[in-house]
Amino acid sequence: KAGVTQTPRYLIKTRGQQVTLSCSPISGHRSVSWYQQTPGQGLQFLFEYFSETQRNKGNFPGRFSGRQFSNSRSEMNVSTLELGDSALYLCASGRTGVVADTQYFGPGTRLTVL
Amino acid sequence: DQQVKQNSPSLSVQEGRISILNCDYTNSMFDYFLWYKKYPAEGPTFLISISSIKDKNEDGRFTVFLNKSAKHLSLHIVPSQPGDSAVYFCAVFYNQGGKLIFGQGTELSVKP
């Protein structure tokens, strides 16, 4: 069974630009969650999508948005990039949602903002 | 305000000895407590969990202890092996919130 895939794996952007990251969940999984990992902050929850609907949202500004398609693939968009957006962005998939130990993480996309 | 804290950013242990990773949380309403392990260039992988109604869960070399009165969670690895070297994240989950909240991580180094 293929795992969670994220593309691209690495990305370099400049301030003010926008970026779109993609996540393909494990086949059959309908939930996709996004996390931002920065040194010293751990993983911070961005949002969760389930069946194309945003079900939960973390405390991030509106520059961070996402969507989920009918095939459960999800994209995350960050507009007007800031230096502080440099981080590892991880997505996790689950069958029914964020419940205990049913989250499977992808390898992440390393975003560097110059 | 961080609801989950791992106060030790790093820990170094000799192979064969016990590794103890600690985590403190603030909200007594959390339902599940989990540990994830992360290797470089990979996403976190689930390790072990415990529900709020228990105080201990064991899986092979890994044991998680929950002290609800102290709002403290710990992971014991016995015996530690060099392959255990990774970053360990504790996480909490509560059904009403519907999301995982992670600590900052502790980097464990097990030396041969």
CA distance A25 to A73: 6
pLDDT at A101: 57
* Set of chain A residues whose Cβ sits within 8 Å of the Cβ of B91: 43
Written as one string, the DSSP assignment of B25-79 is ES-TT--EEEEEEE-TTS--EEEEEEETT-SEEEETTEEEEEETTTTEEEEEESS
Q: What is the mean pLDDT of residues B90-111?
A: 87
pLDDT for A35 equals: 94
Residue A98 above 60 pLDDT?
Answer: no
Of the partner residues B43, B97, B105, the one whose CB lies closest to the CB of residue A42: B105
The more confidently predicted of residues A64 and B99 is A64
Query: Tens of pLDDT along B5-20?
Result: 999 999 999 999 999 9
Residue pointed to by tokens 């969507």: A67
pLDDT digits (tens, 9 = 90+) for B94-103: 777 667 889 9
Asked whether the beta carbons of B49 and A101 are under 8 A apart, the reply is: yes
Q: Is the pLDDT of residue A1 over 70?
A: no
The residue of chain A nearest to residue B44, with distances taken between CA atoms, is A105
Between A and B, how many residue pairs show a Cβ–Cβ distance under 8 A? 61
A48 reaches B (C-beta below 8 A): yes
In degrees and rounded to multiples of 5, residue B83 shows phi and psi of -70, -10
